[in-house]
Amino acid sequence: MTQPNEQAVMTALSKVQEPELHQDLVTLNMIHDLQISNGNVGLTVMLTTPACPLKGQIENDVRTAVMAVPGVQNVNVRFDANVRADNRISGRLNLPIKNIVAIASGKGGVGKSTVAANLAVALAQTGASVGLLDADIYGPNIPQMLGVAEMPPPQDQKLVPARAYGLQLMSMGFMLKPDQAVIWRGPMLHSAIRQLFTDVAWQEVDYMIVDLPPGTGDAQLTLAQSVPLTGGVIVSTPQDVALSDARRGLSAFRQLQVPVIGIIENMSYFVAPDTGHRYEIFGHGGAERAAQELRVPFLGRLPLDPRAREGGDEGTPVVISAPDSEIAQAFHELAKQLAAQVSILSFRPDPELKII
């Protein structure tokens, strides 16, 4: 019987494309720990993110390609992941953070913070190391949404991030008295946001999710000037006016040379629990149409579900409190799409103009 060899297997794998990066797995150096014994082939595919949305397709393509090699009787495909870092971050900041993703909205009231919190937890549930930075200086409510009242004590003159649901968490809310108003602009705002990065003892982070204040004001400008943003996500609602809101958010990111990762449509529809009937309370498709018109990825839509609001009020995100719900599954899919877009950005040749 013909015995397969490493060269034959690698040649077969060189014809397997990573479906989003559009390069073969061998060129991308994604094949590791190849072992061949008596017709049995074992290998590890090193993904660019543990949240890879097309993992199943890659496994099937690898298995099909290797099984076609003469002499192969069985294929054992294992997976690991190594999230690529945005090199601009390490070039400017001495921080163990690989990617920084800003979650923004053109206006308030679209559920941006709820989306940021649940996306971060969903990413962490894939096995990624995730930080959540509440940069909504004027309304820092992420700690309440995650049920965290205070930070650990400082160590070595550094703030120590709180921990919740697998996340590292930092917020100005930890340093303010209840109901204290923040009336900052300019230098004070710039200093506060920068310190939330540089004066905090972050452990290694694959994805730092940053919840920005609504609108397009000083905080967005400060963040883009303080740290290199891997990309930004715009949260909008379904109605047609979402197009103008999304356009403002997109314009702000582009002026600041921040790649737009995509648009999320929140509160897209409501499914009545008693009848199962679907109601499009705020219209339908405005954010998706905006994404098409503005030529940016549409990451997906989220239903209107009272459990998302309840989870935020009670400090238990809906991806934790109702993991089998439609909205929780939608958050998991959005987390995968976000991670995939970050991976695509990491392979773009021009780091300043990645998605336009």
Same domain, 217 and 148: yes
Average pLDDT of every residue of the chain: 87
Tell me how many domains the chain contains: 2
Q: ∠33-38-41 over CA atoms, to 5°? A: 30
Domain contains 323 = yes
> Residue 138 burial (CB < 10 Å; 0-12/13-18/19+)?
middle
Contact 99, 208 (CB under 8 A): yes
Instruction: Write the single-letter amino acid at 117.
Output: A
* CATH number, domain with residue 264: 3.40.50.300
**Residue 330, both tokens:** 């939608």
Looking at the chain, how many residues does it have? 356
- Is a pLDDT exceeding 60 seen at residue 352? no
Distance of CA 248 to the CA centre of its chain: 21
Q: For 202-206, 257-261, 288-292, which range has the lowest pLDDT when averaged over its residues?
A: 288-292
Residues 148 and 248 in one domain: yes
Distance CA 220, CA 218 (A): 6
140 and 53 within one domain: no
Q: Report DSSP letters for 267-297, one per residue.
A: S--EE-TTT--EE-TT-S-HHHHHHHHHT--
> Do 44 and 138 have their domain in common?
no
Is 351 part of any domain?
no
- H or E segment to which residue 254 belongs: helix 242-255
CA–CA gap between residue 134 and residue 223 (Å, rounded): 12
* Contact predicate 294/247, CB 8 Å: yes
| Residue pLDDT, tens place only, 261-281 | 999 999 988 888 888 888 888
Question: Do residue 95 and residue 213 come from a single domain?
Answer: yes
DSSP state of 127: T
pLDDT for res 188: 66
Q: Please indicate, yes or no, if residue 24 is contained in any of the structural domains.
A: yes
Position 217 pLDDT exceeds 70: no
Q: Which of 34, 50, 81 is the last residue of a domain?
A: 81
What residues contact 260, with CB distance under 8 A and at least 6 apart? 231, 232, 233, 234, 250, 253, 254, 294, 296, 355, 356
| Boundary (domain end) residue, out of 49, 81, 113 | 81
Question: Quick one: which of 60, 56, 68, 49 has its CA closest to 11?
Answer: 68
CATH number of the domain encompassing residue 77:
3.30.300.130
Are 146 and 291 in the same domain?
yes
Domain that holds residue 62: 6-81
How many other β-carbons are positioned within 10 Å of the β-carbon of residue 204?
Answer: 12
Domain edge (last residue) among 56, 81, 106: 81
Reported as a single tens digit per residue, the pLDDT across 142-174 is 999 999 988 899 999 899 999 999 999 998 878
State residue 94's pLDDT score.
87
Q: What is the pLDDT of residues 53-99, one digit of tens each?
A: 999 999 999 999 999 999 999 999 999 999 999 988 888 888 999 99
Q: Tokens 């294992």 — which residue? A: 78
pTM of the model: 0.91
